[in-house]
Structure 1
Amino acid sequence: MAFDSLTEKLQNVFKNLRSKGRLTEDDVKEALKEIKRALLAADVNFKVVKDFIKSVQERAIGQDVMNGLNPGQMVIKIVNEELINLMGSETTEIQLQPGKAITVIMMAGLQGAGKTTTTAKLAGKFKLKGKKPLLVACDVYRPAAIKQLQVNGEKQGVEVFSMGENHKPANIARAAIEHAQKNGNDLVILDTAGRLHIDEDMMAELEEIKEEVEVHQTILVIDAMTGQDAVNVAKEFNEKVGIDGVIVTKLDGDTRGGAALSVKAVTGKPILYVGMGEKLSDLEQFYPDRMASRILGMGDVLSLIEKAEAEIDEEKAREMTQKLKKNQFDFDDYLESIKQMKNMGGLGNIMNMLPGLGGMGSKMKGLDDEQTAEAERKMGRMEAIIHSMTPAERANPDILSPSRKHRIAKGAGVDISEVNRMIKQFNEMKKLMKQFGKPGKKKKFGFPF
C-alpha cells in the first residue's frame, strides 16, 4: 500500500512512546516532530501537517493525558482520532436521486489518472446495488477512450452509449439522458475528456455539459502517485467547476499517498472511493476510520472480511474447511486457495489489513522489483506443477511415486527438487491446518482467537 513507509515510521514513534512509563511535555513534542517529518515525507500538504500537529499537541499535553495511567497509548489514540478527522470523520456515499429518478454523475480528471477505468468500476459497484447504469463516452479527443469504455462496460455487463468522435460532449450527454429515459436506466455516468494539465478549454467543456443537462454529482478522479499535484488539481477543479467528491486511484502503489490525507482538508470535499488495483472490482468504499487504522499499522479487519466475502466463493470455502477438518485437502483445493488469495490481492495485501502487521505487505511482496518478480515466478511454477498432475494425483497426493514426480517435473518444466519441495510444503501445511481444527490447539500457533 502507498502508506507502507509512513506506517513503518509511525510505528517506530509509537514504540518509543509505549516504552516510557511517564511522558514529559518534551517527550510528546519530540514524538510530534517525528510524526511531522513522516507526514511530510509521505507528501501530505504542509499546511495540513501543520494544523494536524497543532491539534494533536493541544490535546496530547493536556492534564488528563500526561497524568493518565498510560500516556503513550493516549497519545496514539489522539493521533488516530485526529487522522480520522483529517480524512473526513464519516464515510460519504454518492447521493442518488430518490426512487427510479435518473441520477447523472459527471466524472472529471486529468489524463492518466485512471478516469475511464474508474468510471467502469463505479458502474459495476452500482449495478451490484441494483441500479441500471448507462456509461456515456464523452471523451471525443483521445482515440482509444471510447473503445476502452466499451470494452470495460462489456466486462461489467453495463451498457455504453456512444455517438463517436464528431459530436460535442454536451450534445452526447443530452442524447444519453434521452436514451436512459426510454430504456429504464436510472444512473447515467458521463466519462468526460481529460487533459495532460488543467486548461480553460477543459473547464469550459465541463461547464457546458452542466448547462446542457442537470448533473447531480461531479466526481473528480485523482492519481495518488502524483502526490501534491493531485491535491492542487482537486483544489482547482473545485474552484472552477465545483466537485461533490473525489476518487483516489493507484493507492495500492508504492508511492507516498499523501493526497488521500490532504484532499478533504484542502478542498472540503470527501473522498468517496479509493482504487486499490487494476481489476475492475478493485474499487473500495473509503472509510476514514479504517484508513487511519491501516496507516497506523492497526490493520483493517472489516475491509478484509468484506473483500473475502466479495471475492471468495462461499460454497467452495465451506467445502475446503470441511476437507481440512477431515484431512481430505488435496492439490485441487490447494490450487483453488492460490486462486482465491490472488483474487484478494495476494498475501502482501492481506497482511496489510491484519492488526500488528501493517507495513509488512511490502516486505512480503519483496524489497525490490526483482524479488517481487521472483516471488511471482515461484507462484506460477507451483501452479504449473499442480496442472502437470493427473486428476488422480491431485486428488490423492499419497500416490506420488518418484517416477510420477519426474514426469510432473518434466511437464511443468522445473527441476525434480522443486516438485519435492512443493509436496513437502503441502504436507506440512496439511498437518498444520489439521492442528487448527482441534479444540484448544489454536492458541498454540499464536492465533488471537
Structure 2
Amino acid sequence: MQLRNLLFMLLILVLCYLSFSIHASVTNPPLSSMDEPILPSENNSPFSQMPTGMEASSPGVSEIRVVHHEDLNKRILVALIVASTLLVSILLFLSCLWIYRSKNSKRSDTKKGQQSQDASKGLSLGPILDKFNPLRMTGKKGSVTVIEYEWLVSATKNFHEDNIIGHGSFGSVYKACFNDHFLAAVKRIHGGGPDAQRGFENEISCLSRIQHQNIVNLLGYCIHGDTRFLVYEMMPNGSLESQLHGPSHGTSLSWQHRMKVALDIARGLEYLHECCTPPVIHRDLKSSNILLSSTFNAKLSDFGLAITGGIHGKNNIKLSGTLGYVAPEYLLDGKLTDKSDVYAFGVVLLELLIGRKPVEKMSPSQCQSIVTWAMPQLTDRSKLPSIVDPAIRDTMDLKHLYQVAAVAVLCVQPEPSYRPLITDVLHSLIPLVPVELGGSLRTTES
C-alpha cells in the first residue's frame, strides 16, 4: 500500500512539473529574444512623428517574431524530452521495486502457510528439523532426511544395549541422543529378507506423506550395507503395551487418560481411513504400535504393513498381522477392509478397559483371546464392573463405563458389516473425554 501511494504521488509531481514548465514557457517568453519596446515621445504624437521608413521596417519586426516562436518550440520540445525521460526512468525503477517486493511477499506468504499447516497438525516439525539442519546429512528423499551412519553410531553409543527401548519384528529400537540433548528413537532393521525391505520402504513411503497429530513423525532414515535404520521422534512414555502390561501394570494411566488414548487412536485411524487419498489401512494396529508422549498423547506407529485402497482379498495380499488383533474375516478368508482396523481398535479398547493382554495362555497347549473371554460379561451390567482393570476400578462413572463397553462390543463383532465406522466410534468417545484432554466432557459433568 505504501509503495502504491508513493508511485501515485511521484506521478502527480512529475505531471505537475511538466505542466508548469510548458505553461511558463508559453506565457513568459524570454525578454532577450524580443526587440526593445519603442516608447512615444512626450512632445510629438506617435502618428505625426512616425518615420517614413516604418513600412520598410515592418518586415523586420515580423522576422524577429518568427525566430522567437521557433526558439520557444525548441525549448518546449527539450522540456518534453527531459520530463518524459525522467518519468520513464521513475516508472522503470518503481516497477522493478514492485516486482522485487511482490516476490518477497509471495515467499513470506508461502512460509507462513507452511507454518500454519504445521501448527494445525498439533506438533510443529520446525524445532525438530532445526536440530538436524546444522548437522551432517547426505541428502534427502522426499521430505525425509537421509542421515549418515556414523552420526547414528555416535548418538546411540555404538548401539549399546543400555540404549535399547523396545523390540520390533525385525530388530530393536534404540534411544539416540544427538547434539543439544535432542533425543530420537532409532529402529534398527538387520537382514529380514524381502519382507523387511518392503516394510522399510513402505514405512518411508507412508510417513513421508502422512502427517497428523496422532501419527508418529519420521525424522530420517539410513542404509548401511544390509542394515537399515528409521529415525522417529522420541515418545518418552513408550508404548501402550509397556504401560498396561509392563512393570507398572497400568497404574500410570487413569480412566480419563485411557479414554484420551482411545480418542487419540480413533482420530489417527479416522485420518487414515477418511482423509488420506487413497485411504490407508494400517493392518497392524496393536498396543505395542501405539506410542505415548510425555503428556500421554497417543500416536500410531509402524506402518510397515500398511496398504492403500479399499477391499483386498487373499489373492492380492499376504496374510500378516498379530494374533489377537487380526479380524476373523481377514484370518479366515484374507478379506481386508477398513473394518479390519476397527476390529483391532476394539481389542485395544478392551485392553484399556480390562487391563489384560489380547491373548493369554491358559495352559501350555491352550490360549484364550480377550474377546472370547470378555464378550459375555461386557453385555452384563452386573458383571462388567468386576472385570475392569483393578488399577482404575471404581474410578469412573458407571454410565461412561457402560458406553465404552458398548463401543468395544460393536467394534469386535465377527461380521464386518455390524462394526461401526471409525468416525462413528470417534463421535461416541468425544463426550467421554474431558475438555482439557481433547474431548467435550466438562469437569462438572463427570
TM-score (norm 2): 0.23
Higher relative contact order (CA 8 A, sep 6+): 1
User: Which structure shows the bigger proportion of residues in strand conformation?
Assistant: 2
User: Is the radius of gyration larger for structure 1 or structure 2?
Assistant: 2
TM-score by length of 1: 0.23
